[in-house]
Amino acid sequence: MRVSMFSGGRGAAGIARALLRRPGLELSLLINGYDNGLSTGALRRYLPGMLGPSDFRKNLLLHLDRGDPRRELLERRLAPGTTAADLGRLIDGPLDYRITRELRVFAGRLRAEPDGLDLADCALGNLVFAGAYLRLSEDFNAAVRTCAQTFGSPARLLNVTAGENAFLVALKEDGRLLADEADIVAPQDAAAITGLFLLREPLTAAARAELAGRPPERVRELLARRAARVSPGPEALEALRDADLIVYGPGTPHSSLLPSYLTPGVAEAIAESRAAARVFVVNIGGDHDIQGLTATDLVDRTLAYLGDPGNERRTITHVLGHHGASGGPAVPRAVVDRGCWAGARWISVDLEDADRPGTHSGPRTADALQAVLGEIPLARAG
């Protein structure tokens, strides 16, 4: 069985781990590279043209147990004051030669261009990605593939785009901007986010000042003029078309999930897919970017971003939500009673991890997904 799941960094990690334990299941994770947080943003500024590797790095941890040295390496944060020489001494340690190869390439760039990057708090795993990116002629998707091989990922990690650089910006209902991905996931007021844009270049202070105070529609128009041109990743489209099950995983919607649905060709690949079920998994916990939004709002936004606001193309066939109390988006009582929304069947079951409130239990959610498929003959089974 082939499963393709839209994912971010950690929101769907438990579900992915549980799916990987199912015999006979092939998992593809579709991820975007718009992360622009503190150290990731610094790395992207140092290497203009490179997308953010953090969410891809986090998904390399899925199969690695605590105590695995590869896990420690991926997550290790460099201390303030770390220099290229310090990085060189680290490389001389007992590391896999493939990891050493990538870090040597990056250290060489850092020696040649020592200014412009503070290594403080950089995840060492991100520098492995950066070295692979430089070694492979600045091909981000090739770097993702080689890092997945190096760390033995049992899941296919796929960038939803062909690797073009772009910067994520959000617009609030009152016309105010969240000028990058880091702002989108940060604490903020309760005004709703009403638009997402992918830009060619990050917004400068001057550009922000130019847009400040303008009516929302005018801001939309000006941002559209700065739009980046991105193309879909061929492997991502193939994974969607060939999937038996498509999962819209939980996570931070306006940074990890909805931007992926903006990718040209993704909606069409879903419509053409053999997938017997296309399941939206509702967040259990809350996020800063979805204050005031209900679970049905999130379903509606997903459908709108995928160009199927009325769900005529059956973009979503099922919605899987947690039936207990949680701090996440509310589910209208009438929806639970009816068991449907926007033409999709709404299923409410206990999905929460008892040891980690606000997060999904991977095994319970995987069981629920399997139960959905159990009611629907797999497309390839005829």
Q: Are 299 and 363 contained in the same domain?
A: yes
| Residue ranges in the chain whose pLDDT is less than 50 | 378-382
* pLDDT for res 18: 96
The whole domain housing 59 covers 38-154
Whole-model pTM: value is 0.95
Question: Distances from the Cα of 200 to the Cαs of 167, 185, 207, 224, 281, in angstroms?
Answer: 7, 20, 13, 10, 31
- 274 φ, ψ to 5°? -80, 0
Environment class of 225 (CB within 10 Å of its CB; exposed 0-12, middle 13-18, buried 19+): exposed
Flag whether 161 is in a domain: no
* pLDDT for res 381: 31
Q: Are 28 and 84 contained in the same domain?
A: no
* pLDDT for res 179: 92
Environment class of 25 (CB within 10 Å of its CB; exposed 0-12, middle 13-18, buried 19+): middle
* pLDDT for res 83: 85
DSSP code, position 116: T
* pLDDT for res 174: 86
* pLDDT for res 325: 63
Domain boundary among 119, 154, 189: 154
* pLDDT for res 377: 55
Q: Are 239 and 344 contained in the same domain?
A: yes
Flag whether 162 is in a domain: no
Amino acid at residue number 290: I
Flag whether 159 is in a domain: no
**Which tokens sit at 380?**
């390839």
Q: Determine the distance from the C-alpha atom of residue 123 to the mean position of all C-alpha atoms in its chain, rounded to a whole number.
A: 18
* pLDDT for res 9: 87
